[in-house]
Amino acid sequence: MSAELTAEARFGAASVQDFRERGWWQDGSAAALLDRWAKEHPERRFVSDGTVELDWATTRARAYRLGARLRELGVRPGDRVAVQLPNWAEFAVSYLAIARIGAVTVPIMTVYRHTEVAHVLRNSGAVAAITTGRFRSFDHAEMFRGLRAECPELRTLLIARADAHDGELSFDEACAGTDVPELGPHPDPDAPHLIVYTSGTESTAKGCVHTWNTLDFSGRGLANDVFRMTSEDVMFMPSPVAHATGLLVGLLVPLAVGAQTHLLDVWEPNEGLRRIADYRCTATATATPFVRMALDASRGGHPDVSSMRFWLCAGAPIPEALAHEFAGVFTNGNLVPLYGASEVMAATCCHLEDSPERMSSSDGSPALDGVRIKIVDPDGDEAAPGEEGEICYWGPGATLGYWREPERSAAVIDGEGWHHMGDLGRADADGYVRVTGRLKDIIIRGGTNISAGEVEGHLVSHPDVAAAALVAYPDDRLGERAAAIVVPAGGTTPTLEDLTAYLRTERRIAPHKLPERLVLVDELPTTATGKVQKFRLRELGQGELARGQA
């Protein structure tokens, strides 16, 4: 671990002491919570996914046996273990097993393919990985088998819900048995606990390092102060638990209060409504487009979703009309905005006592006690109320920094500990923030970030492409989609099918990053210093799309 990635180096000794005195950090562990709930209500269901259901006692037993097996295979405290699994109960067991032995969970979304996974494995130095076989027509186990040759530190491979080959281990066999092993003292709550990779403006994803304390601050705070959950609640989670929102809200929030969680591995709105009804789900958190799709699916009749009382949504504003429509379907529910990121988890959100006008006109005020938000102008000075500037976060939920990336860490964490989010916003006199844009060159497709620079780097490696830019265009369903603006090379005329096939098979990038429209141009517009003018390309792309090109 880099020497600077410690709690005291990140926050300072005085702040660390203050966090503990105020109860923002409680120095527990994920396993300590698991022990508590397994003792208090062992036979109550904790996690289900439509196929597997585990109560608290069974979850604990399976996680502890898996943790003991990982130890036998040489996984030590501080070692990184990659987990690429769908929203299955096995993900929850894996996370709790890794946490119990003091190793570091490195979740990888199932949409990621060879190029992204190889980067995560190399950057994190993962010594073990837990994955599955074929899921949604892609063989994850086979990909990892090929990656083991490229990543010599990856010694161990466990396979869930598929056959393990020689030299691999079956997930079920690793969890099998009747004993619950004694695993010794709980890990240091200030040591690295999770590394979640996030796409930004750069060509490669960055690993946000969280400790138990930084993560639990957000999970416990959301559970108690925002969702106001009890052990009787049932969290519904269709967002990937291998990424920040899904992991935080789908696992950490229920774990904080001993509630249930129900996972959905493939989002389909009609199925989502059925699961909410069947499992009597009471809360969820998704990107805003999920809400739109659920409401569209509800037209003409829908299952009983009256159990839902809270839907937290992020990634796009909540239009007032959407809020009214939501209230007509989820008659006992509240649609509440949140703004956050993998680096800080929950930055701002609205609360139940906020007015409907606040809900539809802002992204909330500081989400939790202990969080401070400010807006800074280009000179670094705090902006006046109503003035646009960069959003900055300070608080106990911030990442320690980026794994093995000190320069990138220093670029966003200033000398006073403020994390510069790279997003633009305005704050009113009462501290309510509205996100207005991005400094970062990213596209948010269905709540998932796509780094334009990364995809552009792959596009220009195609022999028929002289120059390329990736820009967003609006979409009613997903919020944004990606359009490729391409300058052909040597008189050729590449097609969208040519380029996406190349990106998928040769560059092996995740399918959600593939451009869905193509606009061919003679040259890219640039400034006097040669910088591509993305705003002009967005206008060009949207205009061409409106006329039917691509």
Note the pLDDT tens digit of each residue in 381-405: 999 999 989 999 999 999 999 999 9
Note the pLDDT tens digit of each residue in 470-524: 999 988 889 899 999 999 987 789 999 999 999 999 999 999 999 999 999 988 8
316 and 293 Cβ atoms separated by less than 8 Å: no
Does residue 359 fall inside a structural domain?
no
Reported as half-sphere exposure (CB side, CA atoms, 13 A), residue 496 has a value of 13
- Residue 227: how many other CB atoms lie within 10 Å: 26
Rounded to two decimals, the pTM is 0.88
Containing 40, the helix (H) or strand (E) segment is helix 30-40
**Domain end among 188, 217, 240:** 188
Nearest alpha-carbon partner for 298 in 312, 310, 308, 285: 308
Integer Cα distance of 99 and 90 in angstroms: 14
Please give the average per-residue pLDDT across 323-348, as a whole number: 94
Tokens of 166: 């020689």
Q: What is the pLDDT of residue 3?
A: 47
Does residue 88 fall inside a structural domain?
yes
Q: What is the pLDDT of residue 542?
A: 67
Q: Is residue 268 predicted with pLDDT exceeding 50?
A: yes
Integer Cα distance of 206 and 420 in angstroms: 15
Q: Is residue 1 predicted with pLDDT exceeding 50?
A: no
How many secondary structure helices (H) and strands (E) does the chain include?
A: 19, 28
Please give the average per-residue pLDDT across 282-292, as a whole number: 91
Integer Cα distance of 410 and 430 in angstroms: 30
Note the pLDDT tens digit of each residue in 85-94: 999 999 999 9
Q: Is residue 376 predicted with pLDDT exceeding 90?
A: yes
For the chain, percent helix, then strand, then coil, each to nearest 5? 35, 25, 40
Does residue 115 fall inside a structural domain?
yes
Does residue 522 fall inside a structural domain?
yes
Does residue 315 fall inside a structural domain?
no
- List the CATH number of the domain containing 96: 3.40.50.980
Q: What is the pLDDT of residue 477?
A: 87
Q: What is the pLDDT of residue 356?
A: 86
Portion of the chain with pLDDT greater than 70, in percent: 96
Does residue 231 fall inside a structural domain?
no
Q: What is the pLDDT of residue 420?
A: 97
Q: Taking the chain, what is the end-to-end CA distance rounded to the nearest angstrom? A: 47
Q: What is the DSSP string of 512-537?
A: GGS-SEEEE-SS--B-TTS-B-HHHH
**Domain end among 152, 172, 188:** 188
β-strand 138-139 against 419-427: which pairing, if any? unpaired
Give me the amino acid identity at 487.
V
Total domain count for the chain? Answer: 2
- List the CATH number of the domain containing 482: 3.30.300.30
**Lowest pLDDT segment from 168-172, 436-440, 503-507:** 436-440
Does residue 436 fall inside a structural domain?
no
Does residue 531 fall inside a structural domain?
yes
Q: What is the pLDDT of residue 137?
A: 96
**Phi, psi dihedrals of residue 141, rounded to the nearest 5°:** -60, -40
Mean pLDDT for all residues in the chain? 93
Q: What is the pLDDT of residue 541?
A: 61
Integer Cα distance of 408 and 404 in angstroms: 9
Residue 102: give the domain boundaries: 62-188
Q: What is the pLDDT of residue 490?
A: 77
Nearest alpha-carbon partner for 469 in 539, 421, 390: 539
Q: Is residue 529 predicted with pLDDT exceeding 50?
A: no
**Domain end among 188, 210, 227:** 188
Q: What is the pLDDT of residue 17?
A: 98
